[in-house]
Chain A
Amino acid sequence: MFFHWLEKNPFYFAVLISIVISFAGLLEIVPNFAQAARPLTTETPKTVLELAGKNLYVKDNCIACHSQMIRPFKSETDRYGKYSLSGEYAYDRPFLWGSKRTGPDLHRVGNYRTTDWHENHMLNPPAIVPGSIMPAYKHMFTNLADIETAYAEAVTVKNAFFTPYGPEFKKTRAAWEAHRPKVLADAKKIADDMKSEDVKKAVANGQVPEIVAMIAYLNSLK
């Protein structure tokens, strides 16, 4: 019998396992790969400041409690806005859909929350939403966001995946130094809407506290 022979031949056994377990991936994932990657024509890649915020979303692991996936149900579109489309995620690396909603979905949070709201909320969530079990993220007001890494990411995805960043995105340090004032200008726009004097002062000194990048990212979710 075939299986009796197989069970004496570990090499062929391993080969057969590999074939059998590869099937599903080949048939289910590969065919759709090119199509699912197409961005909506209205979709633009994130700015460097927003990318830095996205990296903080990853660093502090917001997906542990928040989804970014509005399902096509009336109860969800009523609560969060238009249901999510594949093309809206085309520049998201990694995808940040999450798998648990201990807190609400954030895919369109930029439509209905403001910089001011986020600032107060991140300092003390239950003060803004009584009963909230979300922890405060006070450290985001003192830690600095890594905008240089965010720039490196923009350049990387531009060169590796043809993400449409402009010609000024080059891999040299000089190009980064040239782009830096743009990031600081974006940061200043956010900081102007905030009340924390320390944050304003830091931005004026050419630094970007994490909270500024975080809010820029959250505001970009629309």
Chain B
Amino acid sequence: MQSNAALEYDYTVAKMFTYVTILFGFLGMLVGTILALQLAFPELNYLIGEYGTFSRLRPVHTNTVIFGFTVSGVFATWYYFAQRVLKVSMAESRFLMILGKAHFWVYFIGALIATITLVFGISAGKEYAQYEWWIDIVIVIIWLMWGVSIFGIIGIRREKVLYVSIWYYLACFLGIAMLYLFNNMSIPTYFMTDGLGSINHSVSMYAGTNDALVQWWYGHNAVAFGFTVPIVGMIYYFLPKESGQAIYSYKLSLLSFWGLMFVYLWAGSHHLLWSTVPDWMQTMGSAFSIVLILPSWGSAINMLLTMKGEWNQLAENPLIKFMVIASTFYMLSTIEGPIQAIKSVNAIAHFTDWIPGHVHDGVLGWVVFMTMAALFHMAPRMWKREIYSKKLMGIQFWMQTTAVVLYFTSMWVAGITQGMMWRAVDEYGNLVYSFIDTVTVLHPYYVIRGVSGVLYLTGFILFAYNMYKTITAGRELTEEPQFKTPMA
């Protein structure tokens, strides 16, 4: 077994997931941009009949970017870095190779079918959990395949100590499994009767306020374990690898990880402030949201301090730029969230555009930036070619950074304007504005958001093009780059 020869890692599965990350990223962002433009120009609702309305397309957007782009990005990076930090190649196990490929194909075909069902309105109705019962079963199978894959490769590892990134991916696996299972518990009506009605339809196991609690325990923490946990795992691996710097503090990693694990789950009820959920739960949600700043900023500061004394890299290497700004947006987003979770602030912010504004500085600025940086870092090592164009990467960076800033600033203004107008009263205590006044006033901000969407999407197309050219036409490398990713 023991050999001193350098390991050749096998990136077959990582490459497959890389392609679909780019594909789903493009599709998800394309639909997102269309949605943004529909709010500014409602005529765009009628492009493809009943299938193209804002309401029908929104779940297509959210599910494609969450379960399409982000999740396949998580899989792609997992199949890349897990081998490297565990010091074992996928090629060493026939079982793991076959499982990895099967995992990919079941996932890819499943994702396509799932997306089509949403377009046709086959929906269980809960946000980010719209998939009907039989798709849920397919998703559970996909997730279990990944689980076997994770524990399989961990089982044959040479490096005994699990690196921080592995902790985060393990937590992602376990957290999403628990949340998804409980939230999607439902009963298919077809089987509870003598085959009456549609086989697709199901009813939730929970009703009303209970359903809301379970849903936002899920909804908030799907964000936690999908958009935060694995992305933090990514940056813990890719930032040191790209910069050649060791992580600043082990203790801070430890504190942030276990802190995040414990605190995050409590915060879900901040989505239900002022609702019919009992008051003590709302207060718990608020309080834990504030506490959540600690582990979130703990990770982000750990990343920024990793660059201590090496800030010149920021000017020289656009990938460092991507990762540093991703950490920065993560800090912004994780201070903004707790502010919105304060009950008095939430009274104004809830139901307004400030909420999508908050979501998007997190996902566009943090999740997508970090995922793209990871794929850029992986490409020269997987395909043994130099990055096609550094200049293009720089253009993309500024385009998308501008887009993110336009997005959240316009939505801050829109959200607070709307929240204030809803509650405005004259000197006799009568409402000043009818609802439609609070809609028409948002038009300019919706236009700005549309522009931001077009810019961001264009940036993503540049990314896809740069990746494509790297894979097909980048200058070939004779040996693997140690740290800084080579680019032309």
Our verdict on whether A and B bind, yes or no, reads yes
Spell out A's residues near B (CB within 8 Å).
3-4, 7-8, 10, 13-14, 17-18, 20-25, 28-29, 32-33, 36-37, 55, 58-65, 67, 69, 71-76, 78-79, 84-86, 88-104, 126, 129-137, 139, 143, 146, 148-153, 155-157, 159-161, 171-173, 176
Across the two chains, which residue of chain B brings its CB closest to A153? Answer: B189
**Which one of A7, A94, A173 lies within 8 Å of B211 (CB-CB)?**
A94
Please, which residues of chain A bring their CB within 8 A of the CB of B352?
100-101
Complex contact A152–B196 (CB within 8 A): yes
Complex contact A89–B208 (CB within 8 A): yes
Please, which residues of chain A bring their CB within 8 A of the CB of B204?
93-94
Complex contact A7–B178 (CB within 8 A): no
Complex contact A90–B208 (CB within 8 A): yes
Complex contact A69–B355 (CB within 8 A): no
**Which one of A14, A37, A173 lies within 8 Å of B170 (CB-CB)?**
A14
Across the two chains, which residue of chain B brings its CB closest to A75? Answer: B423
In the complex, what distance in Å separates the CA atom of A219 from the CA atom of B422?
Answer: 24
Spell out B's residues near A (CB within 8 Å).
38-39, 42, 45-46, 49-50, 53-56, 58-59, 121-127, 130, 151, 154, 160-162, 167, 170-171, 174-175, 178, 182, 187, 189-190, 192-198, 201, 203-204, 206-215, 217, 254, 258, 261-262, 264-266, 268-269, 271, 274-278, 281, 284, 288, 347, 350-353, 355-356, 422-425, 429-431, 435-436, 439-440
**Which one of A18, A65, A86 lies within 8 Å of B55 (CB-CB)?**
A65
Known: A91-B207, A172-B194. A131 touches B436 (CB 8 A): yes
Complex contact A95–B209 (CB within 8 A): yes
Across the two chains, which residue of chain A brings its CB closest to B430? Answer: A78
**Which one of A95, A104, A131 lies within 8 Å of B215 (CB-CB)?**
A95
B263 to chain A, nearest CB (A): 8
Complex contact B436–A148 (CB within 8 A): no
Complex contact B39–A139 (CB within 8 A): no
Complex contact B125–A58 (CB within 8 A): yes
**Which one of A29, A60, A101, A132 lies within 8 Å of B351 (CB-CB)?**
A101
**Which one of B54, B167, B196, B423 lies within 8 Å of A64 (CB-CB)?**
B54
Across the two chains, which residue of chain B brings its CB closest to A151? Answer: B196
In the complex, what distance in Å separates the CA atom of A164 from the CA atom of B206?
Answer: 16
A153 to chain B, nearest CB (A): 5
A141 to chain B, nearest CB (A): 11
Known: A8-B161, A8-B162, A75-B422. A94 touches B124 (CB 8 A): yes
Complex contact B436–A37 (CB within 8 A): no
Can you sample 17 A-B contacts with CB below 8 Å? A7-B162, A10-B154, A14-B174, A21-B171, A21-B265, A25-B265, A28-B266, A71-B275, A71-B347, A71-B350, A74-B429, A75-B422, A95-B211, A99-B355, A135-B55, A136-B46, A171-B193
Known: A17-B170, A32-B281, A152-B197. A135 touches B45 (CB 8 A): yes
Other than the known A36-B208, A98-B351, A157-B203, what 16 A-B pairs have Cβ atoms closer than 8 Å?
A17-B174, A17-B175, A17-B261, A21-B174, A36-B210, A37-B209, A61-B130, A64-B55, A69-B276, A79-B435, A89-B276, A99-B271, A139-B49, A150-B197, A152-B193, A153-B197
Complex contact A159–B125 (CB within 8 A): no
> Number of residue pairs across A and B with beta carbons under 8 Å?
268
**Which one of A69, A91, A159 lies within 8 Å of B192 (CB-CB)?**
A159
Complex contact B192–A155 (CB within 8 A): yes
Please, which residues of chain A bring their CB within 8 A of the CB of B288?
24
A147 to chain B, nearest CB (A): 9
Complex contact B210–A33 (CB within 8 A): yes
A36 to chain B, nearest CB (A): 4
**Which one of A21, A86, A96, A137 lies within 8 Å of B209 (CB-CB)?**
A86
Complex contact A84–B276 (CB within 8 A): yes
Looking at B175, B211, B215, the one whose CB has the most chain A CB atoms below 10 A away is: B211
Complex contact A13–B53 (CB within 8 A): no
Complex contact B125–A96 (CB within 8 A): yes
Please, which residues of chain A bring their CB within 8 A of the CB of B178?
18, 21-22, 25
B431 to chain A, nearest CB (A): 5
Complex contact B207–A90 (CB within 8 A): yes
Complex contact A72–B435 (CB within 8 A): no
Complex contact B174–A72 (CB within 8 A): no
Known: A14-B170, A79-B435, A135-B45. A100 touches B192 (CB 8 A): no
A80 to chain B, nearest CB (A): 10
In the complex, what distance in Å separates the CA atom of A22 from the CA atom of B352?
Answer: 31
Complex contact A99–B55 (CB within 8 A): no
Please, which residues of chain A bring their CB within 8 A of the CB of B190?
152
**Which one of B196, B209, B277 lies within 8 Å of A155 (CB-CB)?**
B196
Complex contact B439–A133 (CB within 8 A): yes
B202 to chain A, nearest CB (A): 9
B415 to chain A, nearest CB (A): 10
Complex contact A94–B436 (CB within 8 A): no
In the complex, what distance in Å separates the CA atom of A61 from the CA atom of B35?
Answer: 14
Across the two chains, which residue of chain A brings its CB closest to B35? Answer: A64
Looking at B45, B151, B201, B203, the one whose CB has the most chain A CB atoms below 10 A away is: B203
**Which one of B46, B208, B430 lies within 8 Å of A92 (CB-CB)?**
B208
Please, which residues of chain A bring their CB within 8 A of the CB of B54?
64-65, 135
Looking at A10, A134, A136, the one whose CB has the most chain B CB atoms below 10 A away is: A10
Looking at B160, B192, B355, the one whose CB has the most chain A CB atoms below 10 A away is: B192
Known: A95-B207, A139-B49. A13 touches B42 (CB 8 A): no
Complex contact B435–A104 (CB within 8 A): yes
Please, which residues of chain B bring their CB within 8 A of the CB of A69?
275-276
Complex contact B281–A28 (CB within 8 A): yes
Known: A69-B275, A131-B440. A17 touches B171 (CB 8 A): yes
Complex contact B162–A10 (CB within 8 A): yes
Complex contact A37–B55 (CB within 8 A): no
Please, which residues of chain B bring their CB within 8 A of the CB of A32?
210, 213, 278, 281
Please, which residues of chain B bring their CB within 8 A of the CB of A75?
422-425, 431
